[in-house]
Structure formats: C-alpha cells, structure tokens
Amino acid sequence: MPVLSLREFIRKIPKAELHIHIEGSFEPEQMFTIAGRNQLTLPFTSVDELKKAYEFNNLQEFLDIYYAGAGVLVTELDFFELTQAYLRKIREENVLHTEIFFDPQTHTERGIAFETVINGIRRALEEENQSSGMSYRIILCFLRHLDEDSAFRMLEMAAPFKEWITGVGLDSSEVSNPPSKFAQVFEKAREEGYLTVAHAGEEGPPAYVREALDLLKVSRIDHGNRSLEDEALVMELAERKIPLTVCPLSNLKLRVVEDMKNHPMKIMLEKGLSATVNSDDPAYFGGYMTENFLAVSTALSLSQAEITQLCVNSFLASFLDSDTKETMIQKVLDFSNTHSFMMDS
Ligand code: HPA
Ligand code: ZN
C-alpha cells in the first residue's frame, strides 16, 4: 500500500468544495494585471503592499479589501479568467466537484451587467467540465448589508439565467443583518425552485443559525461555528443531517478561532455534525483546499478515518444527484482503502 506524506494524501484524496466565493479567489498578481487592463487603480501600489494588508481582525476588515479587489472586474473575460485560475488550482487538488458562490450585487451596483458576470464564470466552469470532467454548481449570494428590496431586484435580474443557478445564499457582514431580514426574498427564491443556503454563526449568534433553518429553510449552513454554543441546535443539525461548510483558514484569519489548535472541527465530527472543509476566500486566507485540510488535520491530529469522513461528507452535502454522490463517495473510500499517510513527513 502506498504510504504518502500527509500533504500528498490530502492533495490526492477525491473531494468536493462547497464554500468558495469566486471573488475571494482573486490572487494579487491577477488583480493587478486585470486592473491595469481596465485602466483602474487599486488602493495599493504593489502586490507586496496589497499582501501586507491581508491582516484582519474581523470579517468587516476583510470584506472592505475583498470588495475593493472585486471592483476591478469589469469584462466577461475578467470573470472568465478569474474562474479559470481557481479551477486550475483545485484541479491539482483532486477536487472533483465545486459549488461556487458569486456576489452579483457587488458588480451590478458598479454598472456591470449581470450577464457579463455570469457568462464569464459559467464559460470557465463549462470548459473545465468538458476538459477534465469536474462538475459544478453555481450559487448566487445576496449581500446581507444591503436591503431586501435590492435582493429582490437581483433575483429578478437572475431570472433569465435560472437554469444555470442551483441556489441562493447569503453573505457579507453578518452581525446586525440576521437571516430574518431576507425571509421574503428567500421564500420567493424557493417558490422559483432555487435551493437555499446561508452564512450563519460565523460571527453571528446561534440564533442566526436557527433563523436560517426555520425562516430561510436552508439545505446547508455556511460556517456555523457558533452553533456549538447551543446544545439543542447541535442536536437538531445532527439529526436533520444539515451540513456545515466549515473554512478553517478563514476562521483563523478572521479570528473566529484564535489558534488552529482550538478549531472546533474535531468536536463537530464527534457530535455527529456533517462538517466539511472548504477554502472560503483562498487568495486572502492562505490557501486552497489542500492548505485548509492540512492546517486543521495537523493542528487537531485528525486520523485517516476523520479526513476520509470529511471528504465523504463533502459529496453527501453537495447538490449532486444521489447516484453521482454514491459514485463519488466510492472513489473517496477506494482511495482511502488503498493509501495511507505518515503524519510527520
Ligand atoms: N463571510 C461572509 N461573507 C463573505 C465571506 C465570509 O467568510 N467571504 C466572502 N464574503
Ligand atoms: Zn464564505
């Protein structure tokens, strides 16, 4: 049986990514290239200066820089190249399926047409699917710092592209913008056939997770870390098999956890929660899927069984059909049954 380093085991094991903001995969070098092409300036003079600004004390400090970066994306080619660069990275990590978020209000508010954004993103995903077989879903996120009317207008703009969009989500500044603020637009979205997810319990209290379940009827909770503060909520999430799309490096960089050794991933698994590993905003938080798995596995000494479970969970929690899920899970188990790793190499 091949014995791999932990990094190689993690890189090679089949997996799905379910929590990635495509604008959060915008690498500094590409950001400067695209800004220059569009004759736009960033509030930083160099890649080095920009990277030095990637020190965050909370979600809002990150979001301010994230929106500044996203502001140089203008043409369909920009969105295409952004998505293509992300897909090239995760292809090397044996990500077989990805469900990506995009934030159209960030772009339409600057006068960029919705179709420019989605055409670019989707063309890259389609090309990747044709060439490597990687499958994908697209999830439209409403910005929760904006009002519900703005979300309604976005839903209307998305209507002609409904076939391309599997679900709607909720992101941006969590505290003071509870899921209840968007109950009506989520209801409309569900009536139109969209699945729903929401960021909840990243900085916001467990009550926001409860609202996401009860009012937005979400299929998954994005992050969900603070659910652990409410034992009854944990039991319900476990019983109903509501997945949590957890993002270890994001949690560290945004100070949701102070030290990776205190990350709740192991506790989540022990409590029977369907936790998954994801990158959130990999260009800003220090890495893609491999780095996220490696950081949490090393800090918490996760076993091969636990790492395998996280990869199984990623397919179970996906919006793939049940036959495909089964096929993918078999690939994870086949890999894990025929490989092992040495922890200290
Ligand atoms: N939380 C909320 N909104 C976001 C995030 C996040 O981690 N990343 C991009 N938008
Ligand atoms: Zn996120």
Burial of 337 (0-12, 13-18, 19+ CB in 10 A): exposed
Q: Rounded to whole angstroms, how far apart are CA atoms 212 and 218?
A: 6
Confidence of residue 343 (pLDDT cuts 50, 70, 90): confident
Distance from the alpha carbon of residue 20 to the mean position of ligand 2, in angstroms: 6
Residue 297 has pLDDT above 70, yes or no: yes
| CB-based pocket (< 6 A), ligand 1 | 21, 24, 59, 66, 171-172, 199, 202, 250, 280-281
Distance from the alpha carbon of residue 104 to the mean position of ligand 1, in angstroms: 14
Q: Supply the residues annotated as catalytic.
A: 202
Q: Rounded to whole angstroms, how far apart are CA atoms 281 and 283?
A: 6
Q: For residue 344, what pLDDT is reported? A: 66
**Phi and psi at residue 242, to the nearest 5°:** -80, 115
Mean pLDDT for 29-56 is 97
Mutational pocket test of ligand 1: of 199, 245, 251, the residue with most ligand atoms within 8 Å of the beta carbon: 199
Q: For residue 122, what pLDDT is reported? A: 99
Q: Rounded to whole angstroms, how far apart are CA atoms 268 and 266?
A: 5
Cβ neighbours of 91 (radius 10 Å)? 15
**Phi and psi at residue 180, to the nearest 5°:** -55, -25
Domain count, the chain: 1
Q: For residue 295, what pLDDT is reported? A: 98
Residue 34 has pLDDT above 50, yes or no: yes
Mutational pocket test of ligand 1: of 23, 172, 174, the residue with most ligand atoms within 8 Å of the beta carbon: 172
Confidence of residue 56 (pLDDT cuts 50, 70, 90): very high
Domain containing 38 equals 3-342
Q: Rounded to whole angstroms, how far apart are CA atoms 89 and 275?
A: 23
Mean pLDDT for 66-73 is 98
CATH number of the domain that 288 lies in? 3.20.20.140
Residue 345 has pLDDT above 90, yes or no: no
Helix (H) or strand (E) holding 328: helix 322-338
Mutational pocket test of ligand 1: of 62, 107, 244, 256, the residue with most ligand atoms within 8 Å of the beta carbon: 62
- Protein residue with its CA nearest to atom 2 in ligand 1: 172
- Protein residue with its CA nearest to atom 3 in ligand 1: 172
Which ligand number lies closest to the CA of residue 253? 1
Mean pLDDT for 283-301 is 98
Residue 214 has pLDDT above 90, yes or no: yes
Q: Is 342 helix (H, G, I), strand (E, B) or coil?
A: strand
DSSP at 280: B
CA-wise closest residue to 120 among 107, 134, 135, 109: 107
Q: Is 304 helix (H, G, I), strand (E, B) or coil?
A: helix
Residue 265 has pLDDT above 60, yes or no: yes
Contacts of 153 (CB under 8 A, 6+ apart): none
